[in-house]
Structure 1
Amino acid sequence: MRRKSPLTGRSRASLRRPFQALVMVFAVAVGALAWSAPVQAHGTVVGPGTRAYQCWKTWGNDHTNPAMQTQDPMCWQAFQANPDTMWNWMSALRDGLGGQFQARTPDGTLCSNNLSRNASLDKPGPWKTTTVGNNFSVHLYDQASHGADYFKVYVSKQGFNPKTQTLGWSNLDFITQTGRFAPAQDITFPVQTSGYTGHHILFVIWQASHLDQAYMWCSDVNFG
């Protein structure tokens, strides 16, 4: 015989059912979070810093400062367009390109990796630059340690003006393609160039190893 609660008159079994349902909902939610966390953890080129990373690093803790509009107008327009571009600087990826980077990334969308939410990164203008020499290193930080099948590295042609022109494939010189890298949070590799002066765009493609995920970024460099 079922006993009833002295306060409600309801059976203990009927009281347990809502509690059990709540526990199940909570467990599902926790499981979903645990499953999604690794998917959200990716990386970017932090040296020379990509456009989104540079804006986050410089203004992330001060993104409401009106001085950004005059001191760093390209980061300002990016924050106005979509702050999530900077908050999620590590997530500029597309799945399943199968190495068809040029065929599936139209001119004018290279810096955003053809992601509409990151379109502000394609805008030409006075982006802040990192000074490099003819020979420099590219540093990827990958918080999830995915590893790399390879990196492809390009530099905008001499005479291309990042302040007034959007980047297309014909504006790039191919520099190098690396080999594979084992999973690690920090990957660094050398890049050798010659003949470049002034403001250029360093364009890097990272083909991650864990899945067919392609990341594309623009870093603004000044060849001193």
Structure 2
Amino acid sequence: MIGAAAVLAAGFAVALPTEPADAHGGFTFPATRTYACYKDGIDGGSGGGLNPQNPMCQQALDQNSYPFWNWFGNLISDAGDRHREIIPDGKLCGPSSDFDAFNAPGDWPASDVQSGSTVTFEHNAWARHPGTFSQYITKDGWDPSQPLGWDDLEPAPFDEVTNPPLRDGGVEGAEYYWDATLPNKSGRHVIYSIWERSDSPEAFYNCSDVVFDGTGNGGGEDDTQAPTAPGAPTAGSVSGDAVELSWSAASDDVGVSRYEVYDASTGEVVATTSGGTSATVGDLAAETDYSFYVIALDAAGNSSDSSPEVAVTTGSADNTSGQCTVDYSIANEWSGGYTADVELSNDGDAALSGWSLHWHLDDGGTVTNGWSAQIEQQEGHVTASNTDWNGDVPAGGSVSFGFNAETGGSAEEPAEFELNGAPCSTS
């Protein structure tokens, strides 16, 4: 998973955001302008740097990198249902100064969709809030060469949902999801979304560029050909509450945009990936039989046949990673940074097959590089996962890793750790 900060491989430093974020969420499908540009920048760069290939995204990056790392924070904190009153025409896609670059008209990355089709909206839930999502569409004949105004939108939302269901395993972590029927449109349009919280006056605003019955960023023939079926998934690490799955890629005449992993017994999506061919399915019951299959989707919404199923039996309750101890120590500290050493001990009666340790950097630090673990950070939240050589930890055994971090103050030891979602004790 690529989060709001790039993954840190063992001993490898990457560029991470230094500005604070007001993160909360945004559509990953259909992708908001901010998320589409973030993905474009990450995919075109290397070592965690941003190198957008889309000219509009590059133009936005030249003005301000903050919205790329904070693509999920396009909000007004005191909106209070005053959207049209406080957001002027031309500022709908970026109502705050930090996001103003995304108001510019132009050939932004677009999601291909089919007129009148039913699609699954996927909205990242970086922070979870109760509230209502309202989706509007631009009118027929609107002028895409001008900044978006309120009169460019149809007067009523074509889709509205309150407190939609939430699931883990989205392309950027936990996500809200729901089915929506798209309006009958053709050509390029903008889906304008307002997420209004019911527990505060805060609201979030996003523009998702879409092309109906066509190909994003340049037009072309309608895409009606579905991807081929993915290969049969295989199970990697299996614990008492999670399983890692991988599969052979599907093929498509235009390109596969994402995969969805299904629980065969319920027909529910339990994980999604943004083109990657592996996923971790969590929140499983111990010592339980499961079957999973995968489908591939292209940007136009065409879905493949199901892959063959894989049968998996989860491990014992002792292998749900709830019995663990973390020894976290500051090995070295200097003005503006520190080195931390972490030892994770398996206190259970069964071996761990794969591990993922999560904590929060209460000192406001930013991880700059790490070793003996795959480390990723989203704001203060840090997750360290095993490499391909240290994923198996026997009962009574331990594994160690470390990292360097920058901070404006003194280093602090985290108060809590979770291993594969279960709490650990500290020493």
Q: TM-score, normalised by structure 2?
A: 0.40
Q: Which has the higher strand share?
A: 2
Q: Deviations over 1:86-130 (max 9, x none)?
A: 111111111122211111111000000x10111110000011110
User: Alignment identity in percent?
Assistant: 31
Q: Deviations over 1:152-179 (max 9, x none)?
A: 11011111132x1110010001313223
| Count of paired positions | 180
- SS of the equivalent of 1:120 reads helix
Take 1:41 and 1:75, find their aligned partners in 2: how far apart are those partners? 20
Does the 8 A contact of 1:161 with 1:199 survive in 2?
A: no
Take 1:75 and 1:211, find their aligned partners in 2: how far apart are those partners? 32
Take 2:165 and 2:181, find their aligned partners in 1: how far apart are those partners? 22
Q: Match of 1:139? A: 122
Q: Which has the higher helix share?
A: 1
Does the 8 A contact of 1:145 with 1:183 survive in 2?
A: no
Gaps in structure 2 of 5+ consecutive residues: 1-19, 168-173, 214-427
Gaps in structure 1 of 5+ consecutive residues: 1-36
After the TM superposition, which segments of 4 or more aligned residues of structure 1 sit over 4 Å from their partners? none
Deviation at 1:145, TM superposition (A): 2.0
Between 1:212-221 and 1:182-191, the stretch displaced more is 182-191
Take 2:143 and 2:55, find their aligned partners in 1: how far apart are those partners? 17
Q: Match of 2:277? A: none
Deviation at 1:64, TM superposition (A): 5.3
Take 1:93 and 1:50, find their aligned partners in 2: how far apart are those partners? 13
Deviation at 1:138, TM superposition (A): 1.8
Q: Match of 1:180? A: 163
Q: Match of 1:18? A: none
Distance 1:94 1:64, change over 3 A: closer
Q: Match of 1:222? A: 211
| Structure 2 residue 24 is the aligned partner of structure 1 residue 42 | yes
Does the 8 A contact of 2:166 with 2:177 survive in 1?
A: no
- SS of the equivalent of 2:98 reads helix
Q: Match of 2:81? A: 99
Deviation at 1:211, TM superposition (A): 2.4
Q: Match of 1:171? A: 152
Structure 2 letter corresponding to 1:139: E
Structure 2 letter corresponding to 1:111: C
Does the 8 A contact of 1:131 with 1:223 survive in 2?
A: yes
Aligned CA-pair RMSD:
2.1
Determine which structure has greater relative contact order: mean sequence separation of CA pairs < 8 Å that are 6+ residues apart, divided by chain length: 1
2:102 corresponds, among 102, 115, 121, to: 121
